[in-house]
Amino acid sequence: MISIRTIGLTLALVGGLATAGLASAAAPPAPKSNGLALTPPIGWSSWNNFGEDINEQLVVESIDAMIANGMRDAGYIFVNLDDGWQRYKGKRSDHPLEVDPKKFPRGIAWLANYAHERGMKLGIYSGPGQTTCAGYTGSEGHEREDAKMFASWGIDHLKYDACCSHREAPKTELQRIFKTMSDSLMAQQRGIILHACHCGWGDIWEWAGALGINHWRIGQDISDDFNYPGNREKYYFDVLDQLDRGVGIERFSGPGHWNDYDMLIVGLNGKSKQLVGSGASNTEYRTHFSLWAMVSSPMLVGADVRKLDAYSLETLTNKEIIALNQDAAGNIAEKVRDDGDLEVFAKELSDGSHAVLLLNRGAATAEITFSPRRDMQVPMDRYSVRDLWQHRDMGTYEIPFTAEVQSHEARVFRIRQLSTSPNGRSVSDGAAEQSTR
Ligand code: GAL
């Protein structure tokens, strides 16, 4: 049984270390806008579960499944082909870039049309080298021509991946290759979102927005783990690694130009043919999803959407959590309190309310106390609290609130300022404990 209760001014996290609150540091260079991705792109990507093993039937079935299971209506409109749609492996100087006719017999334009007719969007993948990460022909030397081809097919999103071809490239070279594709896309009549994938290297968040790039990975590939000791295969980042990577670079992210914490692992359950990792618990997947929503990361589901179990689907289609990700203000939650294993993230939403996430990274259940004044430096003396996983209004508070948070759980609340009551008391005053589950 989890409970939430009001407590005078007693803090459960005695000796806690408050962090910077919601103040932000020096402003990054002004982003160049193509008018796209004003909220983070959310949808499905083929890579995390299927790798190169993709084809037309899989994509059609995935679109149909996302419509039938409510994902599209919850906002997941992007259907993104990752590496493996191309016909040839080997250097671009030796082969043209064409669709594999065995995998996609009716071509990509047909597939884009299939998506568009159903209110969805189609994404594709290439890279700035001679070859892509999986060894298919890249776009080097043919950027304008490829951008034109993608636009003619009706493509809406391009993942442009430099992780393998330009791993050691200096920053100036990275900026050149991404600018070339960004300019090539912007020269098309069709708006195409550009994801510059460079696995979080070259401080890409510092300069990508100014080149007109819509999102960029802040870390190496995610693995299907919540908190694996160290890095799997000395490379992969788990959920908490990605989260920690984003702390301190929030100011580079916003409408049209997002820090990307990598694709969602919810529903993979350690069974992906493609991705390493032993899977996470339902609670951990839910925490991962809540965190990505709070930091407004693009959210591309990596699991097989045709076979999602009920719990994963309920997690992914929680509209109150998705609303935090898709909020028009585009604020990125900051870590406003860090007490070792117990952390608090918060951000302001476009209607003036705030989203608050209480995270327990530890092994044992713990109480976490949140105070708007102390943790966000917001003088909110009377406020309502809504639990976004239980879909329940918790009442009115005039003092900090405390919630019990299980190991690896994140509890997420939306709090709204209320006018001060005439007698200075809140409806929750005197109620020693309110059961929430
Ligand atoms: C990696 C990238 C993955 C996937 C893969 C395709 O560089 O990080 O997300 O796109 O290439 O080969």
> What confidence score (pLDDT) does residue 302 get?
98
Q: Ligand 1, residue 132: give the atom nearest the CA.
A: 12
Pick the residue whose CA is nearest to atom 9 on ligand 1. Answer: 221
Q: In sequence order, what E strands does 201-310 have?
A: 215-217, 258-260, 299-301
Question: Is 155:118 a contact under the CB 8 Å cutoff?
Answer: no
Q: What is the pLDDT of residue 28?
A: 82
pLDDT in the model for residue 25: 61
Per-residue pLDDT of the chain (437 residues; tens, 9 = 90+): 233 333 222 223 323 333 434 444 667 888 999 999 999 999 999 999 999 999 999 999 999 999 999 999 999 999 999 999 999 999 999 999 999 999 999 999 999 999 999 999 999 999 999 999 999 999 999 999 999 999 999 999 999 999 999 999 999 999 999 999 999 999 999 999 999 999 999 999 999 999 999 999 999 999 999 999 999 999 999 999 999 999 999 999 999 999 999 999 999 999 998 999 999 999 999 999 999 999 999 999 999 999 999 999 999 999 999 999 999 999 999 999 999 999 999 999 999 999 999 999 999 999 999 999 999 998 898 999 999 999 999 999 998 999 999 999 999 999 999 987 555 444 343 333 333 44
DSSP string, 117-176: HTT-EEEEEE-SSSB-TTSBB--TT-HHHHHHHHHHHT--EEEEE-TTTTTT--HHHHHH
The set of protein residues with a Cβ atom below 6 angstroms from ligand 1 is 47, 82-83, 132-134, 161, 163-164, 197, 199, 221
Residue 244 is a catalytic residue? no
Q: Which atom of ligand 1 is nearest to the CA of 133?
A: 12
* pLDDT of the residue at 118: 98
In this predicted structure, what is the pLDDT of residue 59? 98
- In the residue annotation, 73 being an active-site residue is answered as no
* Cβ-based burial of 429 (10 A; exposed 0-12, middle 13-18, buried ≥19): middle
Q: How far is the CA of 133 from the centre of ligand 1 (A)?
A: 6
Q: Separation of 198 CA from ligand 1 center, angstroms? A: 9
Whole-number pLDDT of residue 209: 97
pLDDT at 272 (0 to 100): 95
Name 411's bridge partners: 358
- Candidate from 133, 265, 300 with most ligand 1 atoms within 8 A of CB, to mutate: 133
Among 161, 166, 201, 275, which is best to mutate for testing ligand 1, by the most ligand atoms less than 8 A from CB? 161
From residue 11, alpha-carbon distances to 87, 167, 226, 367 in Å are 61, 47, 28, 10
pLDDT at residue number 437: 40
Catalytic choice (83, 146, 221, 238) = 221
Map residue 67 onto helix, strand or coil: helix
Buried b / exposed e across 385-423, counting CB within 10 Å, b at 16+?
A: bbbbbbeeebbbbbbbbbbbbeebbbbbbbbbbeeeeee
Ligand 1: which atom is nearest the Cα of residue 221?
8
Q: Is 104 helix (H, G, I), strand (E, B) or coil?
A: coil
- Any idea what the Cα angle at residue 79 is, between residues 77 and 84, rounded to 5°? 170
- Pairwise CA distance, residues 230 & 100, whole Å: 38
What is the residue with the minimal CA distance to atom 7 of ligand 1? 163
pLDDT at 421: 58
Q: How far apart are CA 54 and CA 40, in angstroms?
A: 25
Phi-psi region of 386 (alpha: psi -120 to 50; beta: other; left: phi over 0): beta
Sheet containing 258-260: which strands, arranged edge to edge? 258-260, 215-217, 193-197, 157-161, 121-126, 78-80, 42-45, 299-301
**pTM score over 0.85:** yes
Cα of 161 vs centre of ligand 1, distance in Å, is: 7
Q: How far is the CA of 153 from the centre of ligand 1 (A)?
A: 22
